[in-house]
């Protein structure tokens, strides 16, 4: 009779040590810390290079985006490798991603119908990218490790100790320092959220044209009944103008909803992290975990729904029948 191997319990000791170390650092040790500034624009990590399109520089949000892309590629390779090995049941992180994709596919199939094969990759890619990007704020070191810059105003200055920048306490008003993080959550950068919103809304138009052809544009510019049916024709024309405004408002809605929620979450974690010990911060980390997942799901779901709606007629034929 073989003995059942004992489960490894080293993980709980690591967690316990982290709690004890966090409490000790918060209560017992006096460590000078450079606080990051709450700013909307991404901070530059390199000297800007002038290009025809404007200055280009490496920012913390760009580093976070590359990091999120690498994670998604690793997940894709992991799922592909597991399938090639003939594993019928995937487990661990790969199994969780498979379950998520199955759920997203089922939702797309129920909404888009025959357009599921074309729309699902966009739905899944947007959801996974935004989810991984949002969850990077939960990784230790993100927005807390970076370059120290000295500014005028408070009580710390930068000094070199063994070739490493550190902080020294001086008289009040002698100097102030700020932290420029090497990695900043990319969802807190409006450049990312607006770009992703533009891609989603552009693909909505693409699917509309693919499904309806040139008739799709009558949704925005419908002058066919202005003279033959003056009342209903003018109404249809006005509705078309409102549809144009609606498409532009989708970009703003997509971009600022994601940006606002994740930026607020990052500020919340920063404030709570400077006020309470580590064991109390874990509650807010759990909150941000769900917020990041929900915002990714909402962004992807809305994009998929708009794409599915664009493949359907906008009701012009029903108006014609009603007018007749």
In a domain, 27, yes or no: no
Q: How many domains does the chain have?
A: 2
Q: Are 120 and 201 part of one and the same domain?
A: yes
* Mean per-residue pLDDT over the chain, rounded: 77
Residues 153 and 296 reside in one and the same domain: no
pLDDT at residue 202 tops 90? yes
**Residue 226: inside a domain:** yes
Q: Are residues 214 and 154 in the same domain?
A: no
Q: Could you tell me the pLDDT band of residue 268, with boundaries at 50, 70 and 90?
A: confident
Residue with tokens 């544009």: 217
Q: Are residues 171 and 263 in the same domain?
A: no
pLDDT at 212: 83
Q: Is the backbone of residue 86 left (phi > 0), alpha (psi -120 to 50) or beta?
A: left
Is there a single domain that holds both residue 138 and residue 265? yes
pLDDT in tens, 182-195: 888 899 989 899 99
Q: 7 in a domain, yes or no?
A: no
Residues 173 and 114 in one domain: no
Average pLDDT for residues 269-274, to the nearest whole number? 76
Q: Which of 181, 205, 228 is the last residue of a domain?
A: 181
The mean-pLDDT minimum among 29-33, 247-251, 272-276 falls in: 29-33
Would the pLDDT of 162 be above 60?
no
User: Are residue 153 and residue 175 in the same domain, yes or no?
Assistant: yes
Q: What is the pLDDT of residues 89-129, one digit of tens each?
A: 777 787 888 888 899 999 999 888 889 899 999 999 999 99
Region 215-237: mean pLDDT is 69
Residues making up the chain, counted from first to last: 324
44 belongs to a structural domain: no
Q: What is the DSSP string of 259-318?
A: HHHHHHHHHHHHHHHTTS-HHHHHHHHHHHHHHHHHHHHHHHHHHHHHHHHHTS--SHHH
Is 319's pLDDT higher than 50?
no
Is there a single domain that holds both residue 124 and residue 62? yes
Angle value at C-alpha 204, between 200 and 208, nearest 5 degrees:
165
Residue 25 within any structural domain of the chain: no
Q: CB neighbours of 72 closer than 8 A, spacing ≥ 6?
A: 128, 129, 132
Contact between residue 310 and residue 216 where contact means Cβ atoms under 8 Å apart: yes
Instruction: Tell me whether residue 16 is in a domain.
Output: no
Range of the domain at 165: 146-181
Task: Please write the tens of the pLDDT for every residue from 36-80.
Answer: 667 778 888 888 888 887 778 888 889 999 999 999 998 888 888
- Identify whether residues 82 and 141 lie together within a single domain: yes
| Amino acid 2: pLDDT | 53
Same-domain status, 154 and 204: no
CA pair distance 156, 150, nearest whole angstrom: 8
Closest of 154, 235, 147, 251 to residue 200, by C-alpha: 251
162 and 281 both lie in a single domain: no
- The model carries a pTM of 0.77
Give a yes or no: residue 242 inside a domain: yes
Q: What does the pLDDT read at residue 172?
A: 42
Listed range (122-131, 163-172, 284-293) with the worst mean pLDDT: 163-172
- Report if residue 225 sits inside a domain: yes
CB-CB neighbours of 181 under 10 Å: 22
Query: Coil, strand or helix: which one is 114?
Result: helix
Whether residue 207 has pLDDT greater than 50 = yes
Is 196 found in the same domain as 168?
no
CA distance 292 to 286: 10
């Amino acid at each position: 009779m073989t003995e059942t191997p004992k489960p490894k319990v080293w993980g709980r000791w690591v967690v316990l040590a982290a709690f004890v170390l966090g409490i000790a650092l918060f209560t017992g040790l006096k460590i000078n810390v450079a606080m990051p500034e709450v700013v909307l624009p991404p901070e530059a990590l390199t000297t800007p290079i002038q290009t025809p399109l404007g200055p280009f520089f490496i920012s913390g949000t760009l580093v976070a985006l590359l990091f999120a892309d690498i994670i998604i590629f690793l997940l894709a390779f992991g799922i592909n490798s597991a399938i090639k090995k003939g594993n019928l049941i995937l487990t661990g992180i790969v199994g969780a991603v498979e379950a998520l994709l199955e759920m997203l596919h089922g939702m797309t199939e129920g909404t888009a119908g025959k357009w599921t094969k074309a729309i699902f990759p966009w739905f899944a890619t947007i959801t996974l990218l935004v989810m991984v990007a949002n969850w990077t704020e939960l990784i230790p070191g993100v927005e807390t490790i970076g370059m120290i810059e000295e500014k005028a105003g408070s009580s710390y200055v930068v000094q070199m100790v063994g070739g490493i920048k550190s902080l020294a306490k001086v008289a009040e008003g002698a100097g102030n320092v700020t932290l420029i993080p090497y990695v900043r959550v990319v969802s807190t950068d409006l450049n990312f959220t607006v770009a992703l919103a533009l891609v989603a809304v552009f693909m909505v138009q693409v699917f509309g044209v693919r499904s309806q052809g040139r008739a799709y544009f009558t949704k925005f510019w419908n002058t066919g009944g202005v003279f033959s049916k003056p009342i209903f024709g003018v109404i249809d024309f006005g509705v078309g103008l409102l549809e144009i405004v609606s498409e532009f408002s989708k970009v703003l809605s997509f971009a600022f909803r994601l940006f606002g929620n994740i930026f607020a979450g990052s500020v919340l974690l920063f404030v709570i992290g400077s006020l309470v010990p580590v064991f109390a911060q874990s509650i807010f980390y759990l909150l941000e975990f769900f917020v990041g997942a929900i915002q990714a799901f909402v962004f992807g779901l809305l994009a998929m729904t708009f794409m599915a709606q664009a493949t359907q007629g906008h009701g012009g034929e029903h108006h014609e029948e009603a007018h007749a």
